[in-house]
A and B are shown apart, each in its own frame.
Chain A
């Protein structure tokens, strides 16, 4: 069964390869600086390297799909997102894969009665504007710098050609590497806890562990997407929107790499943090939006005469349509998978207001009389809790989300062996592991209970009201680690 589930992840990988490679090498291939085969080979090598070297690193999250708590659900969400992306590629429009996946996840939220965090939706809508405008500005500036430098440098046409070509290859390879590192988790991350692959020992010299094998299979799917379908989107980026020359193609790609690096690199973020410098906020930017923004930026600096506004309009519309399409595909597919194929698409969690949770809520300054209306009751979905509490008018949306986090029953049995088996131990500090081991064999009914018990160890203590970035970063890391524990220790 797991292999069938894995297929949708691979389909998503395929669509990602087809969609995102166009963003990286589209301009280079369309200006004939790189042959498609060469571009595809470079992309294939570096995406695989990125996925294998950084994608399987110990501190990476399992990807956005991780929030979907049942394998059947993850299968369907991946399938819906992949379908939506494929439809968009067919009409030659590059879309944001992450945003399409989020659209599908919201479909899952609606289907399974979970609440959607509207702030994340706003962030996505905001990133359409930020990523687009930022890369347009950076590409415009780079264009002016390049133009001024090239007019002064008196570089021979043939030498400029060589430098541009190598620039396109180098930056393209770098971008492909980042693509693999950042997106492999979207493709197969959700299958990590249930990976069907066993560790392979090659002549006792080298161990190819199960997760690495899973990531390798995922990157093969991406590579397949590159070779079979990525040429579809390449033309839109390199030619249809605005005719790029090789040098302007390089500028667009450079702007893309800078924006993606500056606004989505945790490495740079941590580096600035370590130096005590102010950090640049990590914005979820999409390579599709960034490259289109860069091309438009260059076109505007060149006078804005030759931009095909109808193509730009079509692309902008698709950025809204793709997540919406994924949302509907997911909703319909989840219904079919659950009712026709009788697969579990979400965990059946209960939300209980009992003598354990209500006093805690009161202790956290929640309205006592309003809680009286739900005291002693059990709800089957987050949405039911929300409607019930919202009716009282005593709580804000944020407060209700906090209440849900407390009353949600999430049965867990602490078992450190599971962490070892699944290769998660690398993600924890030795003191943290020791603290977990002391709880071995204990059962917890709520996530917060486990978190509170772990807080006995200083290595698990979060900083209340974190003030600076270092403290916030520590809290985020601990939250991500707790998330791994919750999912690993969950029992039905």
Chain B
């Protein structure tokens, strides 16, 4: 039996590694945001570099998994769904990297009064991504638990939206230049968008879960 499952176990490990990378990237994003707000710029750049590595790694893993699934004609019925899940989850990492890269390029000045709400929005978005990782893992192993995690992703996405709106209102209530306000607004939206991507993956995941149920 182990011989028969050799390829399968290898692909399973690759999928788990891919999800680990997504989860790591989300946590790194939160840490990098904290570094940025506390002006630990060198550490921020280190985190960004790590996220870039994670993004490349995720791409490599995804392509490898896709190739295995097609070459060995594994899971013919669910192959398309699995690939869509992996590709969409990969976009979450891309989004995380893009957001941080933008910080690194533009170096927006964040007024001190925004720090707390800024971190809360970031945490909600990151929590949505972490729950997404749980949901995707469950899709492969424990189909009954998927909806539970999907529910949590939706919760954190709504929370990120809610906090993001508060953050934008607070930005425009600040006594700063309009151009500065506009710049900060786009950064706030970038953070919110991470949870939006997680939610988009979940929308598909819930349909694939129905399909997978016996």
Chain A residues within 8 Å of B, Cβ to Cβ: 31-33, 35, 143, 146-147, 150-151, 154-159, 161-162, 166, 245-248
Binds A, one of B38-46, B141-149, B169-177: B141-149
- A151 vs B8: C-alpha distance in the bound complex, in angstroms? 20
Contacts of B1-56 to chain A: CB distance below 8 A? 4-5, 8, 11-12
Given A32-B73, A33-B76, A151-B144, are A157 and B139 also a contact pair (CB < 8 Å)?
yes
Q: Which residue in A146, A154, A166 is a CB contact (below 8 Å) of B141?
A: A154
Closest B residue by C-beta to A298: B214
Chain A: interface secondary structure?
Answer: helix
- Chain B residues within CB distance 8 Å of chain A: 4-5, 8, 11-12, 73-78, 82, 139-144, 212, 214
Residues in B with CB closer than 8 Å to A32 are: 73, 76-77
B214 with A147: CB separation less than 8 A:
yes
Contact assessment for A156 and B74 in the assembled complex, using a CB-CB cutoff below 8 Å? no
Q: B205: shortest Cβ distance to chain A, in Å?
A: 13
User: Inside 8 A of A247's CB, which chain B residues have their CB?
Assistant: 214
| Besides A158-B74, A162-B4, 16 new A-B residue pairs in contact (Cβ under 8 A), listed by A number | A35-B73, A147-B214, A154-B142, A156-B8, A156-B140, A157-B82, A158-B11, A158-B140, A159-B12, A161-B8, A161-B74, A161-B75, A162-B8, A166-B4, A245-B77, A246-B77
In the bound complex, what is the Cα–Cα distance between A226 and B180 (angstroms)? 73
Distance A13 CA – B8 CA, assembled complex (angstroms): 39
Please give me the residue from chain A that is nearest to B11 by CB atom: A158
CA distance A398 to B76 in the complex (A): 57
* Cross-chain contact A156 with B12 (CB below 8 angstroms): yes
- Per the bound structure, the CA–CA distance linking A161 and B78 in Å amounts to 10
Can you give 21 A-B contacts (C-beta < 8 A)?
A: A31-B77, A32-B73, A32-B76, A35-B73, A143-B214, A146-B214, A156-B140, A157-B75, A157-B82, A157-B139, A157-B140, A157-B141, A157-B212, A158-B11, A158-B12, A158-B140, A161-B78, A162-B4, A166-B4, A246-B76, A248-B214
Give, as a whole number of angstroms, the nearest-CB distance from A238 to chain B. Answer: 12
In Å, the complex CA distance between A151 and B146 comes to 12
What B residues does A154 contact at CB under 8 A?
141-142
Q: How far is the CA of A150 from the CA of B75 in the complex (A)?
A: 16
Q: Are A158 and B76 interface neighbours, CB within 8 A?
A: no
A157-B76 in contact (CB<8A): no
The 5 closest A-B pairs by CB, nearest first: A32-B76, A147-B214, A158-B8, A161-B75, A157-B140
> What are the residues of chain A within 8 A of B77 when measuring CB–CB?
31-33, 245-246
Which residues of B sit under 8 angstroms from A159, Cβ to Cβ?
5, 8, 12
A159 to B15, CA, bound (A): 13
Compute how far the CA of A247 lies from the CA of B5 in the bound complex, rounded to whole angstroms: 18
CA distance A166 to B8 in the complex (A): 13
In whole angstroms, what is the CA distance A159 to B141 when docked?
A: 10
Docked pose: A15 CA to B77 CA in angstroms: 30
Contacts of A156 in B (CB 8 A): 8, 12, 140-141
Assess the A157–B214 pair: CB atoms within 8 A.
no
**Separation of A328 and B144 alpha carbons in the complex (Å):** 56
> Chain A residues near B75 (CB, 8 Å)?
157-158, 161
Would B214 and A150 count as touching, CB distance under 8 A? Answer: yes
Contacts of B5 in A (CB 8 A): 159, 162
Residues of A within 8 A of B11 (CB): 158
Query: CB distance A31 to B76 under 8 Å?
Result: yes
* A147, B5: Cα distance in complex, Å: 22
Task: Report chain B residues within 8 Å CB of A33.
Answer: 76-77
Point out the residues of chain A lying under 8 angstroms from B142, CB to CB.
154
Q: Which residues of A contact B214 (CB under 8 A)?
A: 143, 146-147, 150, 245, 247-248
- Chain A, Cβ-Cβ closest to B4: A162
Measured CA separation A33–B77 after assembly (Å) = 8
What residues of A have a CB within 8 angstroms of the CB of B76 in the complex? 31-33, 246
Compute how far the CA of A35 lies from the CA of B72 in the bound complex, rounded to whole angstroms: 12
Q: How far is the CA of A166 from the CA of B141 in the complex (A)?
A: 20
In the complex, chain A residues whose CB is within 8 Å of the CB of B139:
157
Query: In whole angstroms, what is the CA distance A151 to B143 when docked?
Result: 7
A151 to B78, CA, bound (A): 17
Chain B residue with Cβ nearest A251 = B214
Report A135 CB to chain B, min CB distance, Å. Answer: 18
* Distance in angstroms between the alpha carbons of A157 and B75 in the assembled complex: 8
| B212 CB to nearest A CB, Å | 7
CA distance A159 to B76 in the complex (A): 13
Inside 8 A of B82's CB, which chain A residues have their CB? Answer: 157
Q: CA separation between A248 and B75, bound complex, in Å?
A: 14
Bound complex: CA A151 to CA B5 (Å): 20
Give A25 Cβ to nearest chain B Cβ, in Å: 15
Question: How many angstroms from the CA of A440 to the CA of B127 in the assembled complex?
Answer: 94
Which residue of chain A lies nearest to B76 when distances are taken between CB atoms in the complex? A32
Contacts of A248 in B (CB 8 A): 214
Residue of B4, B12, B82, B141 with most chain A CB atoms under a 10 A cut-off: B141
Give the Cβ gap from A349 to chain B, nearest Cβ, in Å.
58
Cα of A248 to Cα of B213 in the assembled complex, Å = 11
Closest to B69 in A: A158
A156 to B76, CA, bound (A): 15
Question: Could you tell me the distance in whole angstroms from the C-beta of A245 to the nearest C-beta in chain B?
Answer: 6
Q: Chain A's nearest CB lies how many Å from the CB of B70?
A: 12
Inter-chain contacts of A147 with B (CB < 8 A): 214
A247 to B74 CA separation, bound complex (whole angstroms):
14
Q: Please, how many angstroms separate the alpha-carbon atoms of A35 and B73 in the complex?
A: 10
CA distance A87 to B172 in the complex (A): 77
CB nearest neighbor in B for A155: B141
> Closest B-chain residue to A146, C-beta based?
B214
Closest B residue to A160 by beta carbon equals: B75
